[in-house]
Structure 1
Amino acid sequence: MLEFSGEQQLIQSEIQKLCASYEDEYWQAKDRDAEYPEEFVEDLAEHGWLGTIIPEAYGGTGYDTLEAALILEEIAASGAGFSGSMACHGAMFVPRSILNYGSEEMKETYLPKLASGEKYLQCFGLTEPDAGYESTAITTNAEKDGDRYLINGQKTWCSRFYASDYMVLVARTTPIDEVEKKTEGLTLFLVDIEDALDQGAVDTQKIEKSIRRAVPSYEIWFEDLEVPEANVIGEVDDGFYQVMDGLNEERVVIAAEAVGLARVAIERAVQYANEREVFDRPIGANQAIQHPLADAHARTTSARNLVYQAARAFKDGRDVGEAANIAVYMAREAASKAADHAVQTHGGYGVATEYDVERYYREARLAHIAPISDEMIKNYIGEHVLDLPRSY
C-alpha cells in the first residue's frame, strides 16, 4: 500500500474537511446550471491551497507535484468529481509557466497575488479549431510593434476564461515558413483579461457541452490585442518547448483526479449495493454486482500506485515521461470502469442525477479525450518507450 508522510496525510485530512461542507446538492446544481463553483474555489484560495506549488518566497506553500496530486485526488473523491478538481486545477498549475520561465520581476509581481487568491491565472490558450493536438500548427500570431505585440487569431476550448484575471496565451512570433523546425517560433504571453476586454480586442462564445458543465469553456477571437513586451513569458520563439516541459506534470495530476473520480464512483456503488434489496437480500451479495466492483477497486488501486510512483519521480527530478503517460492512461481506464460499474449497480437509478454516478460516468468519458487522447499516449509509448517508428 502507498505510504505518505505525516504532513501529506495532514494535507489529505484538511482537504477532506474543506470538501465535506460542499454537499452533493451543491455539485448537482453547478453541473445542472453550468455554473462555475466560485465559492468552492474561493474557499480553497482562502486556505492557501491554490498556492500549493508556488514557493514560500512568493507567498505559496512550497509543495510540489505529489502534494498537488493528493489535493486534487481528494477533491474529486469527495463527490465533486471533475467539476471540483478541474475548477481549481488551472489556478494551481497554469502559474507554473511564470514560475519556471518568467523573469524575477514577473514572479514578484504576479505569484504572490496568485498564491493568495487575490488574482486568478486559470486560463491557458493553446488549442485552435484547425490545430487540435498538433500544437505546432497554430496560426494565432503575435507581431512586434515597438514595445508591444499585436495578437490576432482564434483559440478554442479555453476553460475558466471569465473566472480568471489572466491567461497564458501561445502565439506564433515567427512564421512557420521562416523557421527550421515547426516547433520553433512560438511564444508565451501573459494576457490581462480585463485589459483585453477593455481594449475591445477579444470576442468570446461559450461552448455548450454536456460534460464538466460547471467548468465553462470558450472559443476566443483576438483582433489586434495589444500585449506589452514585458508580458512575454520566457524566451521569444521558445514557447513550444516551455509548454511541452509542463505536460508530464499535468498528466500526473490529471491521473490523480481520475483516481479520485474512480474512488467516489466505487464508494457510491458499494453504498447502494449494500442498501438496495431485491429478492430479500442486498444486491451486493450477488456476484454480478460484487465482482465488477471488486475488479474496479483492483484497477483503481493499481492506477493509484502508478500515479504516485510518477509523482515521486517528478519530485525527485527523474525522467517521468513513461511513468506519467502510463499513469494517466491507466487512471482513465480505472475511472471509466468504476463509473460504468457504478451506473450498472444502480440500475435505472444510474441515470438519475440525484445519485451522481451518471455525472461521474460522463466525466470519466471526457478523461479519454482531454487534455490528450488515449491514441496520442499510445503513440508516445510506442515511439519513446518501445522504440517503434514514429506513427504520425
Structure 2
Amino acid sequence: MDFSLTEEQQMMVETASRIGTEFGLNYWRDLDGRKAFPTELWQAICDAGLCGVALPEEYGGSNLGMLDMALVVEALSQGGGGSTLGQLFMVNPIFGGVSLSKFGTAHQCKELIPKLITGELNFCMALTEPDAGSNTLEMKTFAERDGDGWRLRGQKIWITAVPTSQKMLVVARTKRIEETTRRTQGISMFMVDTDREGLSHSAIDKVGTATLPSSSVFFDNVRVEPDELLGTLDNGWPELLEVLNTERIVTTAGLVGAGRLAIQLAVQYANDRKVFGGRPVGSYQGVQFPLAQAYAELECARLMNYRAANNCDRGLPYGSDANVGKLIAAQAAADATERSMQAMGGMGYSKEYHVERLWRDARLFRFAPVAEEMVLNFIAVHDLGMPKSY
C-alpha cells in the first residue's frame, strides 16, 4: 500500500504546517491559560479550505477523503496545537460534516454544510451519558413523539465544545429497549440548535484540553422539529458507528502530531542542554532510547491510521484499523509526552517549554473518545473471534 503524497496532498500538508506554526506554541499556551476557544486559528483553517477537505464539492468542500483529512490534522497538530487540534476536526468536519454529508437530507446539507466549511457554524455531539458511559446502548435520553416532531428528555456528560457550538448532534432512543427485538434498534440522531429552549449545559472542570470545554448537557422537554431528524428513524445505530469510526481517524492524527511535536521539543532541549563535562544530554542513551521508542510507536500508529483512512475512502471495512490506530496512538502519545518531559528534567514541568500542556491534553485520549479497554474488547471479539467478555 503506497502512501506517497500526491502533489495536491503535499500542498495541503504544507499549508496545514504553515497555519499550525503561525498559530504555534505560544498561541496555544495563551489560550490554555485563558481557557479560550481557538477562534482565530479555526477561521484560518476554514479560510484555507482545510475544514472541508473531505466534504462534498457541491457544498463548498474539496471532495477528497479521510486520508487527506488525517494528513491535515497531523500537520496542524505538530505545528503547535497538539492532540486538541484533532478535537476541532472531530466536532466540526466529523460530527457536523460527515454526519450530514452521509445521512442528511439534501435540504439539511445545503443549509448547514456550507456554513460549517466557512466557519460560520460550529458543531458538537451529545452521546455519552452518566449512567451508560461506553455502553452506549444503555442510553436513557429519550425522544418522545410530539405531533409531527419529538420532545427530548435526558442528560449527557463529557460533551465537547458545547458553549462554542450552534448545532448539536443528539443521539437518543426513540423506542424503549423493551419495545425492540435488538438493543441496537430504536436509536435515532437529531441535529438541533444548541440554544434551543429547554437545553442547558454546565462546564466540567478538568485537567487538560482547556481550550475546548467539556459540559454536562440537560434536555428538559426540548422540542425537536421533523426536519431535524438526521438519518433513519429508529435505525440510526449503524449510521452512528460510521460517524464514530471516522472520529477515531482524526483523533489518531491529532495524537500522532502531538507526540511528534513533544519529541521534537525534547530533542531540541536535550541537544542544547550540556552537563557533566559539556556533553549534551541528548548524547546519552538513557535519554535517546525512550524518545526513539516513542517515535517508533507513533510511526506504527500513523501507518495504521493511514490504512484505516484509505480503506474508508475506498468503501472497505476500516473500523478495526481505526480502533487499533487510536489505541496505539493514545499510548504512544502518552509515552512521547511523558518521556519528553523526563528528558527535559525540571523544565519539562514548566509551562515555558510547552510539553506539560501536550502531556495534559494527550492523557484524555487513553479513555476518550473510546477507552483503550473497550478497544481491546473489540479486537478480542471481532478480530480474534473470542467470546464477549462484558
TM superposition score normalised by structure 1: 0.95
Alignment partner of 1:238 is 2:240: no
Question: Residue 94 of structure 1: SS of its match in structure 2?
Answer: helix
Question: Residue 66 of structure 1: SS of its match in structure 2?
Answer: helix
Say whether the 8 Å CA contact 2:266–2:340 is kept in structure 1: yes
Give 1:82 shift.
2.2
Alignment partner of 1:129 is 2:127: no
Distance (whole Å) between structure 2 residues aligned to residue 340 and residue 128 of structure 1: 30
Say whether the 8 Å CA contact 1:34–1:213 is kept in structure 2: yes
Which residue of structure 1 aligns with residue 328 of structure 2?
A: 330
Say whether the 8 Å CA contact 1:37–1:87 is kept in structure 2: no
Say whether the 8 Å CA contact 2:20–2:77 is kept in structure 1: no
Distance (whole Å) between structure 2 residues aligned to residue 58 and residue 272 of structure 1: 45
User: Pairwise mapping of residues 137-286 of structure 1 onto structure 2 (< 5 A)?
Assistant: 137-194=138-195, 196=196, 199=197, 201-279=198-276, 280-286=278-284
Note the residue ranges of structure 1 that are not aligned, 5 or more in a row.
Answer: none
Which residue of structure 2 aligns with residue 351 of structure 1?
A: 349
Q: Deviations over 1:131-151 (max 9, x none)?
A: 101111111111111122111
Distance (whole Å) between structure 1 residues aligned to residue 45 and residue 20 of structure 2: 9
Question: Residue 69 of structure 1: SS of its match in structure 2?
Answer: helix
- What amino acid is the match of 1:105? H
Give 1:242 shift.
1.2
Larger mean CA deviation between 75-84 and 134-143 belongs to 75-84
Which residue of structure 2 aligns with residue 118 of structure 1?
A: 120
- What amino acid is the match of 1:176? I
Distance (whole Å) between structure 1 residues aligned to residue 105 and residue 88 of structure 2: 27
Question: Residue 187 of structure 1: SS of its match in structure 2?
Answer: strand
Question: Residue 152 of structure 1: SS of its match in structure 2?
Answer: strand
Which residue of structure 2 aligns with residue 25 of structure 1?
A: 26
Distance (whole Å) between structure 1 residues aligned to residue 299 and residue 55 of structure 2: 29
Give 1:2 shift.
4.6
Give 1:209 shift.
0.5
Q: Deviations over 1:80-115 (max 9, x none)?
A: 112333234311111211111111221122222222
Question: Structure 1 residues 274, 2: closer, same or farther in 2, change over 3 A?
Answer: farther
Say whether the 8 Å CA contact 1:12–1:70 is kept in structure 2: yes
Which residue of structure 1 aligns with residue 65 of structure 2?
A: 64
Which residue of structure 2 aligns with residue 382 of structure 1?
A: 380
Distance (whole Å) between structure 2 residues aligned to residue 386 and residue 149 of structure 1: 41
Question: Residue 388 of structure 2: SS of its match in structure 1?
Answer: coil
Distance (whole Å) between structure 1 residues aligned to residue 313 and residue 174 of structure 2: 33
Say whether the 8 Å CA contact 1:255–1:327 is kept in structure 2: yes
Say whether the 8 Å CA contact 1:154–1:222 is kept in structure 2: yes
Say whether the 8 Å CA contact 2:188–2:236 is kept in structure 1: yes
TM superposition score normalised by structure 2: 0.96
Note the residue ranges of structure 2 that are not aligned, 5 or more in a row.
Answer: none
Distance (whole Å) between structure 1 residues aligned to residue 174 and residue 84 of structure 2: 35
Distance (whole Å) between structure 2 residues aligned to residue 204 and residue 330 of structure 1: 33
Which residue of structure 2 aligns with residue 100 of structure 1?
A: 102
Distance (whole Å) between structure 2 residues aligned to residue 189 and residue 73 of structure 1: 30
Which residue of structure 2 aligns with residue 364 of structure 1?
A: 362
Say whether the 8 Å CA contact 1:303–1:327 is kept in structure 2: yes
Which residue of structure 1 aligns with residue 306 of structure 2?
A: 308
Say whether the 8 Å CA contact 1:190–1:233 is kept in structure 2: yes
Which residue of structure 1 aligns with residue 4 of structure 2?
A: 3
Say whether the 8 Å CA contact 2:188–2:235 is kept in structure 1: yes
Question: Residue 71 of structure 1: SS of its match in structure 2?
Answer: helix
Give 1:130 shift.
0.5
Q: Deviations over 1:212-253 (max 9, x none)?
A: 111101101111111111110111111222111222222122
Say whether the 8 Å CA contact 1:94–1:168 is kept in structure 2: yes
Which residue of structure 2 aligns with residue 77 of structure 1?
A: 78
Question: Residue 218 of structure 2: SS of its match in structure 1?
Answer: strand
Distance (whole Å) between structure 2 residues aligned to residue 332 and residue 299 of structure 1: 10
- What amino acid is the match of 2:41? F
Distance (whole Å) between structure 2 residues aligned to residue 235 and residue 313 of structure 1: 24
Q: Deviations over 1:180-206 (max 9, x none)?
A: 111111111110123x0xx2x122110
- What amino acid is the match of 1:326? V
Q: Deviations over 1:139-194 (max 9, x none)?
A: 11111111221111111111111211101001111112111111111111110123
- Two-structure CA RMSD over aligned residues (Å): 1.4
- What amino acid is the match of 2:151? L
- What amino acid is the match of 1:261? A
Distance (whole Å) between structure 2 residues aligned to residue 78 and residue 258 of structure 1: 12
Larger mean CA deviation between 346-355 and 314-323 belongs to 314-323
Say whether the 8 Å CA contact 2:83–2:251 is kept in structure 1: no
Question: Residue 162 of structure 1: SS of its match in structure 2?
Answer: coil
Which residue of structure 2 aligns with residue 294 of structure 1?
A: 292
Say whether the 8 Å CA contact 1:140–1:151 is kept in structure 2: yes
Q: Deviations over 1:277-301 (max 9, x none)?
A: 1111110111111122222222222
